[in-house]
Structure 1
Amino acid sequence: MGKLLSLLLREDSCCSAQHKYDVFLDFENVQPTASELELFDDVQIVLTEASDVLSDLKNYSGADQHIRAAIINPSAEQNASTWEELIPRIRKLRRFYFFSQKIAFVVPQILNSICSDDITPSHQLERQQAIVKQFSEIIDFVFKFDEYKMQTPAIQNDFSYYRRVLMREGPSSYSTDLDDDSTSNLNIANKVSLFYAESTPMLRTLTNVTSQFLNTDKRLVDYAIEMLSTMVKVCIRMLETPAVQFKKRETHLFMLRVLVGLIILCDHVYPNGVFVKTSNIDIKGCIRLLKEQPEEIHTENLLNALRYTTVHLNDSSTSKTIKTLLMEA
């Protein structure tokens, strides 16, 4: 394994912990230890598919013209032609939905692994670097998926048309080549429709499954919250420490996305969010870090994510200083 990055979380750090401790991370070269290997291999299968999902989503091309043609000229021939064009797209959209269930399956396994309260979160991060990196990659995937989805309104247009036809004409009116049970197609369509109705469907999946994990074992709630907070602090220190030099520019961008994704996740699952004074995340320091990035590193989309996908920003407990700092250009 390559040289480890030594990261000292000092008391003068903008997001430091109360006490000094060392965290060692190497996201560019880390390899799983023997104790991590079984879970690592399982998660890696999901992450490999995640890359394909993002590629398909990024290149998604809607059936707008075909749908308009069917609306203008609802002949049997035109409807059949539109349906033929639509089904391959619906197959992809269903795949994305089913993949979200795979994310929901592996995240609790990761949390269960890294949220063992026998050692401190900082030592846990150091001991399970490969699993922590995979969790970070899932957060990065969630962030990218929802960003691409919001940039592609054709997704909801295509699926809404597909679902309307199923409901109007009946599940067996057209061949779908999606499921042997035509009734199942309609049931699944209803679930998929709810999934895409969310502005950030993968984030909703991640926050729901994380909240469910915390509710399952109350003993680990405080530890899990501290673990997520510690991950935020590690990201901050790696990004703000001049001695930390990433070999790849993408690693720096990756850390920025993970930082923002963690903050959003924390705001969703913490009882009072991350913007309250009692939060152990210095949100002002995090916002300033994003705004002080070099000009060639565009962070406006990350700031927008904090502005519009967190849940507690507009609470009365959020100071005007934080709101102004985040909302100003």
Structure 2
Amino acid sequence: MGALLSLLRGSSSGYTSASARTSRDTEPAARFSKQFSDFILNLGDSRNAQYVVDNFPEGDRVLRAGQALLQRIRTYQDGSNEIRAAISQPTPENEEAAWRKIGPSVVLLRECFEHSQSLDRIIPDILDELCSQVNDYDLGKTDRNRGLARLLADLMQSAFAFDSLKSSIPAIQNDFSYYRRTLPRMIKSQNDDIASNVIPHEVSNQMSLFYAYHNPMVKTVVDSASQFAKDSRNEPLVLDCISALAAGSFNTVKQGKADGPESERLCVLVLATCCILYDWISPQGIGSAQSSIDVKAVLDMVSEHTLADSTPADKVVRANCRTLR
């Protein structure tokens, strides 16, 4: 773990200061502000993101795919009028009109669901890389860890944004519900355009479960990270890694040492992501006395910053944590 912290700091040695060693004997919340007091995490350097592009292309692909889907969800074309007409006047013509309208939307919703499956696969890879012991202290490895921390936060930001959009567009749930109810008749349609939008029954069931949650994309990230911690059989190491990233982000913002507005935004995003993951992975949660993250200090500080769709960061953290409300 010491190697990881040195790399994230950008240090060329694994030396642990006397003050850091002493602080391990203090309360967890105090450790958060003291143990890593010299740990500053600046993520604005383009080399960090470039490392991901060059060396972790699958992560970059998942991120870009998610961002593209967000743009399409923002212009979601709902079928409320057509569905209303098909229900009030259930003629074959009205029903086909509704299917033609919601068909492309259902295909988009399937793509979003498949993106969640990609997230589920990539999150363990990112955490595994971040939590692994590294003995090479060169600059490339520093870019590696900062780049992966930024990637993790950017993926969570996309998840925040998707869930926020889903909550603000009731038609997503309504359109898919109508699709599911009329699927048996839709399958029999002789219209090729309508038939091409039919989704396999098993996939449709999985999508229904996915969209039933108020925060399906964040839940995917959280569940994937929690399963990784469980499968790794080294939950304390995972929590230590998350705490270290949180502390570095906290110090950078609190001490005004971000190297620009974008770096500060990314640090707030990393901090929010770490708090949520810690809360779900730790059996006691982030608000417990055993937590190594001082969540009260975090919430006080990030309340002045916004995340998805201009929502205050502290509200985003509370809404997605297990033990905070």
Please give the alpha-carbon distance, in whole angstroms, between the structure 1 residues aligned to 2:305 and 2:232: 42
Pick the aligned partner of 2:282 from 267, 270, 278.
270
Provide the residue aligned with 1:230 in structure 2: 244
Contact 2:124 2:225 (8 Å CA) reproduced? yes
Q: Where does structure 1 differ by over 4 angstroms across 4 or more consecutive aligned residues?
A: 4-14, 36-39, 123-127, 173-182
Give the 3-state SS of the residue equivalent to 2:200 in structure 1: helix
1:211 lines up with 2:235 in the alignment: no
Local SS of the residue matching 2:33: coil
Tell me how far 1:258 sits from its aligned partner: 3.2
- 1:324 alignment partner in structure 2: none
Q: Secondary structure at the match of 2:256?
A: coil
| Corresponding residue SS for 1:50 | helix
| Conserved? CA contact 1:63–1:85, under 8 Å | yes
> Is the CA contact (8 Å cut-off) linking 1:117 and 1:223 kept in structure 2?
no
TM-superposed deviation, 1:180: 7.5
Higher helix proportion (structure 1 or 2): 2
Gaps of 5+ in 1: 315-329
Deviations 1:16-59 (A, max 9, x none): 2536554553334234688x776422211111111101111222
Q: CA deviation at 1:105?
A: 1.3
CA gap of 1:129–1:19, structure 2 versus 1, over 3 A, is: closer
Give, in angstroms, the shift of residue 71 of structure 1.
Answer: 0.9
Identity %: 24
Cα drift, residue 279 of structure 1 = 0.6
Indicate the RMSD between aligned Cα atoms, in angstroms.
3.5
C-alpha distance in 1 between matches for 2:292 and 2:75: 39
Q: TM-score, length-normalised on structure 2?
A: 0.80
The superposition leaves residues 120-143 of structure 1 with CA deviations (integer Å, 9 ceiling, x where unpaired) of xxx987752222221121121111
Distance 1:176 1:147, change over 3 A: farther
Structure 1 residue 309 corresponds to structure 2 residue 320: yes
Separation in 2, partners of 1:24, 1:128: 10
Q: Which of the residues 82, 87, 98 maps onto 1:66?
A: 82
Structure 2, unpaired ranges of 5+: 1-7, 12-16, 24-28
Q: Secondary structure at the residue paired with 1:156?
A: helix
Distance 1:257-1:37 versus aligned 2 partners, 3 A rule:
closer
Deviations 1:230-276 (A, max 9, x none): 11112211211223341xx4543343233223212211111111001
TM-score normalized by the length of structure 1: 0.79
Q: Secondary structure at the match of 1:27?
A: coil
Q: CA contact under 8 A between 2:225 and 2:281: conserved in structure 1?
A: yes
Higher RCO (Cα < 8 Å, 6 or more apart)? 2
Kept in 2, the 8 Å contact 1:143–1:261? The answer is: no
